[in-house]
Structure 1
Amino acid sequence: MTPEAQAVTLQHPAIGSIKGTQYSPRVEEYRGIKYATLTDRFARGQLVENYPSTLDATSHGPLPVANPQNCDLEQLLLQHPLPHPEYQFSDLECLTLNVAAPNASVRAQAGGGSGRPFPVLVYVHGGGFVTGSANWPQWELARLVELSVERGSPIVAVGINYRLGPFGFLTSAAMREAGYQPNNGLHDQKLGFRWVQRHIAGFGGDPGALTYFGCSIGAASGFVHLQSEEPLFQRIAAWGGSGLMQPLPLGVAEVGYGMVVKALGLESLPPAEQVKELVRIPQADFEAKVRDVHAPYMAWVDGDIVRTVPTYSGIADPAGLKKVFPGVQWCPTVWMGSCSMDGAIFLITALAGRTDDLPQALKRCISTTLSAHPDLIPQLVSLYGLDSANTADEKALAIANFSTDVGFAQAAKATAQGWQASTGTALLSHFTCPNPWDGGWKGHATHGLDAAFVLQNYNQVLPEGQRGCAERMGRDMVDFVGGKDRLPWVGAEGGREIVYHAGCEGKGDESRVVSSEEAAEMTARRRELEGIVRGRTEVLDRLMDALGMLLSGQ
């Protein structure tokens, strides 16, 4: 709690007295609330059943164990720093969440004095399952809640922390034999939503009006939960991630397990003893020794949390979509968003250490996966300039463009179209604001920048026009969470999509609603890609396979 922050106390009907802080005259924050307990670092979490008579929620809880520099590194990706404290980390006390809510006077005035509950946004951060936190300043939620109050449509917002890296996603046959299940990080997310369903009413929220808002892998995680029949939320806004994230088979996890065991010096031990040592090694030693080990920490197809591998072909019709995502029946409304340079994220993550010629590597991957369509290979090589890229910048742009189109933009469009065909309620947005700050991707709409805009945490350092765009995005998100019909739904008569845009030098928001046809004309490259594909979802699946091969170094 900062020295100027005023303390507030909430009387929660189930938890009891909760001490928080007053963010503004109309918004309160409750930070570091533990939603689940852990018996050890690889165990499944259990929802907290009892709280102390007075719960101190005035400061953030410890973060899940990860590289201590991760917050600064992510801000480098966004290309603008924000001040933050020194964070603490814990393998056992890390399952916490933060709540931003309208204060008592706003709650009392809701619904003409009836105290009607507010709709709820639950934010699940990105970071590739190895980094990220709801505690970081770029993902604070209070400003969006403040905007909602100003708009006269108050919402409650919750940010969930979940386990990352090995403690969240390491698995092996030996670990499962010892009783440790896969996908702990995804299970943590489920627990967070169950906590919200159980307790958010005490903060003024409506447990029957939950919106999942995810960025990047946080967005893709939402669709993992939609593989389940358990209703966790009623709407989903997925930006920079889609229903086509490619989970991996459990057999691949053995490779990562072996890498971690070797880094920790445990390879000579029997498997059962290895697992015991994995639990015992001090968390700081564990993290430091595996920090530079590029083991795959992914969603694993375990038949429980992750039941299948979604494909373009599999979600192309309503019957297929419902088979892959039975949650479409309890979450009928989806908002898919992408940035015009989402794919650059891979160049500074999965591909960062590569020294080979990446365009030529991608060409080989495409040639392998599209062997049944040899006529398409030269068209794609030409479209993305894989043979003509000579300079480092040209090569980076070729990879970023292909990754953006296949891994993000087309995936978002296909997911929206699938939902639209099944439920009639899908929104598609395109974020094209150039990054205004110095860095390698200045001038491009980089991955995650859309989420940073919508949460309002960079408004004080944005150019005037982009600040107006961010506020427009925030208002649209508030309306989406509130179930308002002001938003232009794709699939409505004529088809409508949103383009969020403001230049670095302009003084006004240039966002606009366009027809689906106009959206297709925005990028000649994507229009040409769709002309090559000609609606053949199996071709898109093979291109997704090629991207996966490139990222995994095959």
Structure 2
Amino acid sequence: MSLLGLSEEPFSRQQEILSTMPVEELVKKTFQVVSALPAVDRIFLPKAHGIFCISDPEDLSIPGKTWCKTMILGDSKDDGLVMGLGILAAGRVASIPATFPAHFEKSFLSDPEDLALIKQHYQIDANTPSNQAFDTLLQMSSDIGFLAPTHYLAAGFPGPSYVYHFNYRNPWDGMWGGKVSHILDVAVALGNYNLNGLDEHGANTSGEMQDAFINFANGEEPWAPFQEIASGPMRVFGDRKAKMVTTLADAQRYPELFDLLENVGWSKWWTAISNYL
């Protein structure tokens, strides 16, 4: 509360102020006090691992690959929204059309062909409206920071893995209303908003996720296990009725993402994104 100047206020007053404070102001005052990064604890995560370790089922240097027998993992379509909090907090949205292209050109100075491939799908230049540029940057962050690692990790897991893609749109007002925002899949799956916030479609999606996750927790297959990057199979939640798909396009994801990554390389691309964010 000290960061917000509310330490001396009574609890009821703190609640009142927090409930009416614009989210942009809250982010600016509190963001990145504690870095939102993986904790290298020398036990569960003994070191920072690269994408090749994650995606190789024979590389068992991550301890969990030996004791964890099966897992569910997935992404939300707009997971990358959470990566934009730093830009919002610093008031950098207006500068993206000028600064982001310059940053990427410097990052890919020795690989102009890779940069050209990226620009074909994620177009940001000096003439791009700032909000559109921000949306494109966040979509890139979703694809490279969440979608790709989901498939790489599933492919590199020695046991059965079950991948889902979540597409139910945030029903609440605010800057992320209508987006498939980060951790929304968790909120929907837990069912706490089924009678207070979610529409009928959202409540049905919640029930579908709960059924699948409870089956998994009881040792049953929640759906067909993942077999191959980009083709799954994958479970899609939030597109009306849950369904199985075998293409990224049917999951409402960029269908050529992994072909692009094959040429550009995940580590180099993600390093360029994260250094900018």
Place the TM-score, normalised by the shorter chain, in its bin.
0.7 to 0.9
Q: Is contact 1:501-1:510 (8 Å) kept?
A: yes
Call closer, same or farther: CA 1:292–1:351 in 2, change over 3 Å.
closer
CA distance in 1, matches of 2:184, 2:250: 23
Q: Which residue of 2 aligns with 1:469?
A: 205
Are 2:51 and 1:312 aligned? yes
Call closer, same or farther: CA 1:543–1:480 in 2, change over 3 Å.
same
Q: Is contact 1:533-1:540 (8 Å) kept?
A: yes
Call closer, same or farther: CA 1:340–1:297 in 2, change over 3 Å.
closer
**What displacement does 1:519 show?**
2.8
Aligned 1:106-145 pairs, distance under 5 A:
none
Q: Which residue of 1 aligns with 2:4?
A: none
Secondary structure of 1:338 counterpart: strand
Identity %: 22
Are 2:245 and 1:514 aligned? yes
Moved more, 302-311 or 433-442: 302-311
CA distance in 2, matches of 1:292, 1:501: 30
CA distance in 2, matches of 1:388, 1:350: 18
Question: Which one of the candidate residues 79, 98, 118 is aligned to 1:380?
Answer: 118
Letter matched to residue 248 of structure 2: A
Secondary structure of 1:459 counterpart: coil
Secondary structure of 1:318 counterpart: coil
Letter matched to residue 446 of structure 1: S
Are 2:221 and 1:485 aligned? yes
Letter matched to residue 378 of structure 1: A
CA distance in 2, matches of 1:532, 1:343: 18
TM-score (norm 2): 0.79
**What displacement does 1:311 show?**
1.6
CA distance in 2, matches of 1:314, 1:293: 28
Q: Is contact 1:362-1:547 (8 Å) kept?
A: no
Call closer, same or farther: CA 1:392–1:445 in 2, change over 3 Å.
same
CA distance in 1, matches of 2:113, 2:238: 37
Secondary structure of 2:224 counterpart: coil
Secondary structure of 1:527 counterpart: coil
Aligned 1:82-97 pairs, distance under 5 A:
none
The structure with more strand, counted as a fraction of residues: 1
Q: Deviations over 1:87-108 (max 9, x none)?
A: xxxxxxxxxxxxxxxxxxxxxx
Question: Structure 2, unaligned stretches of length 5 or more?
Answer: 1-13
**What displacement does 1:417 show?**
1.1
CA distance in 1, matches of 2:140, 2:198: 29
Letter matched to residue 191 of structure 2: Q
CA distance in 2, matches of 1:521, 1:452: 24
**What displacement does 1:489 show?**
1.3
**What displacement does 1:402 show?**
0.8
Q: Which residue of 2 aligns with 1:412?
A: 150
Q: Is contact 2:70-2:161 (8 Å) kept?
A: yes
Q: Is contact 2:248-2:255 (8 Å) kept?
A: no
Are 2:238 and 1:501 aligned? yes
Question: Which one of the candidate residues 388, 393, 396 is aligned to 2:134?
Answer: 396
Call closer, same or farther: CA 1:416–1:304 in 2, change over 3 Å.
closer
Are 2:185 and 1:459 aligned? no
Question: Structure 1, unaligned stretches of length 5 or more?
Answer: 1-67, 78-130, 132-289, 503-508
- Across the two proteins, how many residue pairs are aligned to each other? 253
Q: Could you say which structure has the larger radius of gyration?
A: 1
Call closer, same or farther: CA 1:466–1:299 in 2, change over 3 Å.
closer
CA distance in 1, matches of 2:97, 2:179: 20
Secondary structure of 1:513 counterpart: strand
**Larger RCO: 1 or 2 (CA < 8 Å, sep 6+):** 2
Q: Deviations over 1:298-321 (max 9, x none)?
A: 44546456421122122232233x
CA distance in 1, matches of 2:164, 2:155: 13
Q: Which residue of 1 aligns with 2:7?
A: none
Q: Which residue of 2 aligns with 1:345?
A: 82
**What displacement does 1:389 show?**
6.0
Secondary structure of 1:430 counterpart: strand
Q: Which residue of 1 aligns with 2:258?
A: 530
The structure with more helix, counted as a fraction of residues: 2
CA distance in 2, matches of 1:361, 1:400: 15
CA distance in 1, matches of 2:39, 2:172: 37
**What displacement does 1:369 show?**
3.8
Q: Is contact 1:436-1:462 (8 Å) kept?
A: yes
CA distance in 2, matches of 1:318, 1:305: 17
Q: Deviations over 1:321-364 (max 9, x none)?
A: x12x1221110212111000111112234643232622543334
Call closer, same or farther: CA 1:362–1:456 in 2, change over 3 Å.
same
Secondary structure of 2:112 counterpart: coil
CA distance in 1, matches of 2:162, 2:52: 21
Secondary structure of 2:256 counterpart: helix
Q: Which residue of 2 aligns with 1:443?
A: 178
Call closer, same or farther: CA 1:417–1:371 in 2, change over 3 Å.
farther
Question: Which one of the candidate residues 64, 72, 93 is aligned to 1:335?
Answer: 72
**What displacement does 1:399 show?**
1.4
Q: Is contact 1:479-1:487 (8 Å) kept?
A: no
